[in-house]
Amino acid sequence: MSLLEVEAINSFYGDSHILFDVSLRVEEHECVALLGRNGAGKTTTLRSIMGVLSPGSGTIRLDGKPIQGRPPYEIAQLGMQLVPEERAIFGALTVEENLRLAALTAPGAWPLDRIYQVFPRLAERRRSGGRTLSGGEQQMLAIARALIRDARIILLDEPFEGLAPLIVRDLVRVSRELVQQGRTIVVVEQNVAAALSFADRVYVLNNGHVVWEGTPDELHADPSVMKSHLGV
């Protein structure tokens, strides 16, 4: 049994059919990348898994238990955290207040010092307001809020978008270290090279369909998929 099992989900925005029988699995302690062009359905897949969008049909299981149709806060209590593309940090709160708020309802919350070991920059900015942070610092804080809850599985939506190359390099390093430490991650990312550098397996989506599945090495060895669906 996989930690996360998605079976033939169909998701809609109003009358628009976005996901078509999407199926995937994520094992515990692995990183899975969802790749594809803009509009392929990657973010919708994460939103459907997290309960932000309820699939019209299909099954989603976390640790063998069906979760489709449950509200996001219940899914979060089961050990899943979504780091959304827009980051959604509280600009009026400090870095430390954002972290303490995230940890408030987590029974196994990490101590702040452990978070600051992962992101030393956040320790330096701990008293700074969220709205004063750079884009890279905001992304660090968004990921840190998921980590402090000791999430079993973290969904990362475009974590490197719009960030300077040096910040991307640092976040890739942190992501790789988290995977090596046994975190389970699902990452949606347009930066194919960055995602493949720490993913164990890959799903490629196109127009709401899963069109390819395999390892990063297998993807690199299949230039037709890279060109047709990823523009690489």
Q: What is the pLDDT of residues 145-169, one digit of tens each?
A: 999 999 999 999 999 988 889 999 9
With a pLDDT cut of 90, the percent of the chain lying above it is 80
Q: Nearest to residue 230, comparing CAs of 177, 193, 180, 192?
A: 192
* Averaged pLDDT, 100-106: 91
pLDDT band at 87 (very low <50, low <70, confident <90, very high): confident
Q: 17-37: per-residue pLDDT in tens?
A: 999 999 999 999 999 999 999
In this predicted structure, the answer to whether residue 8 has a pLDDT above a threshold of 80 is yes
CA distance 176 to 142: 17
Residues 72 and 178 in one domain: yes
Residues 101, 70 within the same domain: no
Domain end point (choices 123, 142, 161): 142
Residue 208 amino acid letter: G
Q: Is residue 95 part of a domain?
A: yes
pLDDT at 62: 96
pLDDT band at 228 (very low <50, low <70, confident <90, very high): confident
Question: Based on the domain organization, do 166 and 132 belong to the same domain?
Answer: no
In angstroms, rounded to a whole number, what is the distance separating the alpha carbons of residues 139 and 168?
Answer: 10
Residue 30 lies in a domain: yes
Alpha-carbon distance 100 to 187, whole Å? 25
Q: How many whole angstroms separate alpha carbon 57 and alpha carbon 67?
A: 12
Cα separation, 27 vs 2, whole angstroms: 5
Residue 187: helix, strand or coil by DSSP?
Answer: strand
Please report the sign of the dihedral spanned by the C-alpha atoms of residue 106, residue 107, residue 113, residue 117: negative
168 and 107, same structural domain? Answer: no
Instruction: Say if residue 16 is in the same domain as residue 73.
Output: yes
State whether 20 and 103 are in the same domain: no
> CB under 8 Å to 88, separation ≥6 — which residues?
142
Let me know if residue 133 belongs to a domain. Answer: yes
Domain boundary among 94, 114, 142: 142
* Model confidence at 229: pLDDT above 90: no
Residue-wise over 145-178: b if at least 16 C-beta within 10 A, else e? Answer: bbbbbbbbbbbbbbbbeebeeebbebbbebbeeb
Same domain flag for 97 and 32: no
Q: Decide if 147 is inside a domain.
A: no
> Over the chain, what is the mean pLDDT?
93
* Amino acid, single-letter form, for residue 47: R
CATH number (domain holding residue 55): 3.40.50.300
At residue 179 the predicted structure's pLDDT band, cuts being 50, 70 and 90, is confident
Question: How many Cβ atoms sit within 10 Å of the Cβ of residue 132?
Answer: 12
Cα separation, 98 vs 93, whole angstroms = 6
- 128 lies in which domain range? 81-142
Q: What angle do CA 117, 162, 141 make, to 5 degrees?
A: 25
Residues 219 and 164 grouped into a single domain: yes
Same structural domain, 10 and 107: no
Asked whether residue 196 carries a pLDDT value surpassing 90, the answer given is: yes
Say if residue 116's pLDDT is above 70: yes
Domain boundary among 95, 118, 142: 142
Check pLDDT > 80 for residue 231. Answer: no
Question: What six digits make up the tokens of 208?
Answer: 């709401």
> What pLDDT sits at residue 133?
94
| Residue with tokens 């991650």, as numbered in its chain | 185
Q: Can you name the residues that pair with 157 across neighbouring β-strands?
A: 188
Q: What's the total number of domains in the chain?
A: 2
Model pLDDT, residue 182: 86
The reply to whether 62 and 88 lie within a common domain is: no
Residues 74 and 85 in one domain: no
Asked if 74 and 159 sit in the same domain, the reply is yes
Within-domain flag for 216: yes
Which pLDDT does position 232 carry in this prediction? 53
